[in-house]
Amino acid sequence: MKKILIIGSTGQIGSELTMKLREVYGDSNVVAGYIPSAPPMGELAESGPCEEVDITNGQQIADVVTKHGIDTIYNLAALLSAVGERKPLLAWHIGIDGLLNVLEVAREHGCAVFTPSSIGSFGPNAPKDGTPQDTIQQPRTMYGITKVSGELLSNYYASKFGVDTRSVRFPGLISYVAPPGGGTTDYAVDIYYSAVRGEKFMCPIKGGTFMDMMYMPDALRAAIEIMEADESKLRHRNSFNIAAMSFDPEIIYQSIRKYIPSFEMEYQIDSLRQEIAESWPNKLDDTCARMEWGWKHRYDLDAMTRDMIDKLSLRLNKQ
C-alpha cells in the first residue's frame, strides 16, 4: 500500500484529492500536509493524519516523509495564475524553490512525485486548437513560467536521478466543494454559485474566449491514474495534456439555462484575466494521455452542469 503525503491538502484540489486518496489507499496511509494559515477542518482533519508542511521548508518535508515512511508525494502547493501576476516572486518561490525542496527530498528518500502542470504552461505562440502534447510553450505569466520550469525540472530529476516524477496539465477545474482562488478559469465555478443563488452573474471573461475545463471528479481520477500507470508504457512524464470539454462563457451560460431558464448573465471584463485567457489554448489535444495510460474523461458540459446544480443546491440550502 502506498504511503502518501499531500502538500497543500487544504486547497482547491487538495481538499478533495486527500479524501479521495484516503478512500482508495486507506485513511491512515494519507497524510494531509497543511500550513498554519490554512489548517484542515472537519472530515479532512478527523479522517486521517495531518502534519504541518510548508513547501518552502525542505527540512520540514523531509521530517514528515521520514516520520510516516512516505513513498509518494502529491505536491499541490501553488499560487494560481491571476494572483501569481500580482505576487510573481511568491509564485516563483512556492512553485520552483518549493518544487526543488520536494524533488530533493524525493531523491534522498526514494519517493514518487506528482506536481500538476496546467493549460497555463502554454502561451500565445502555441497552436490554439488541438494544442499538441509536444509543442512550443512560451507562457507570458509567472504562473505559466513556473509550470513549464516545473515540468522541465521534474523531467530532469527523473532522467538524472531516477525519481519517478509524473504529472498532467490540468484544465480549469470545476467543483462544488472547495472554491478556487485567484485563477483565470474561476468564472466557470462562480457562474454556478450565481445561478443556484438566483443572482445575475457578472462574467469577467469575454464571450468567444474558449478554454479547456474539467469536472473535479475526472481531475481527481487523472491524478490517481497517472501515478498508478504502468511506467514501461509512458513515453512522456511531465506533463500530459488532459482534456474533457472546451467552452466560452456563452456556452456554459446556455448549458445552465437548460436547467435554470431565468438565469441572467452580463459581461464585466477583468482585463488581467482576459489577457491571460487569450494567451492560453482553446482546446488541448490529449491523445498521448489516452494512448499511454488510458486517460478518458467521464463528464461533458451538460453532465457536469446537471451534477453541479444538484449538489450546489443541496449544499447552499443546508447553509
* Sites of contact with ligand AKB (CB under 6 A): 80-81, 118-120, 143, 170, 172, 183-185
Assess contact for 9 and 34: CB atoms under 8 A.
Answer: yes
What is the Cα–Cα distance from 54 to 108, expressed in whole angstroms? Answer: 18
Nearer residue to ligand AKB within complex by CB, 120 or 150:
120
Minimum distance from residue 76 beta carbon to ligand AKB (Å): 12
Nearer residue to ligand AKB within complex by CB, 40 or 120:
120
Name which of 143, 146, 140 is nearest 278 in CA terms: 140
What is the Cα–Cα distance from 77 to 80, expressed in whole angstroms? Answer: 10
Minimum distance from residue 171 beta carbon to ligand AKB (Å): 6
Quickly list H helices, the chain: 14-25, 42-46, 58-68, 81-86, 88-92, 98-109, 142-161, 187-197, 216-228, 249-257, 271-279, 287-293, 301-318
Minimum distance from residue 105 beta carbon to ligand AKB (Å): 24
**Which letter, b or e, does each residue of 73-112 get, where b requires 16 or more Cβ atoms within 10 Å of its Cβ?**
bbbbbbbbbbbbbeeeeebbebbbebbebbbbbbeebebb
- What is residue 49's three-state secondary structure? coil
Phi, psi angles (nearest 5°) of residue 22: -65, -35
Cβ-closest position to ligand AKB: 183
Minimum distance from residue 141 beta carbon to ligand AKB (Å): 8
Residue 235 in grid coordinates:
513515453
What is the Cα–Cα distance from 252 to 259, expressed in whole angstroms? Answer: 12
Nearer residue to ligand AKB within complex by CB, 71 or 212:
212
Nearer residue to ligand AKB within complex by CB, 29 or 117:
117
Nearer residue to ligand AKB within complex by CB, 33 or 171:
171
Minimum distance from residue 159 beta carbon to ligand AKB (Å): 25
Q: For the beta carbon of residue 63, count every other beta carbon within 10 angstroms.
A: 14
Burial of 59 (0-12, 13-18, 19+ CB in 10 A): exposed
Nearer residue to ligand AKB within complex by CB, 11 or 48:
11
Minimum distance from residue 35 beta carbon to ligand AKB (Å): 20
List active site positions: 143
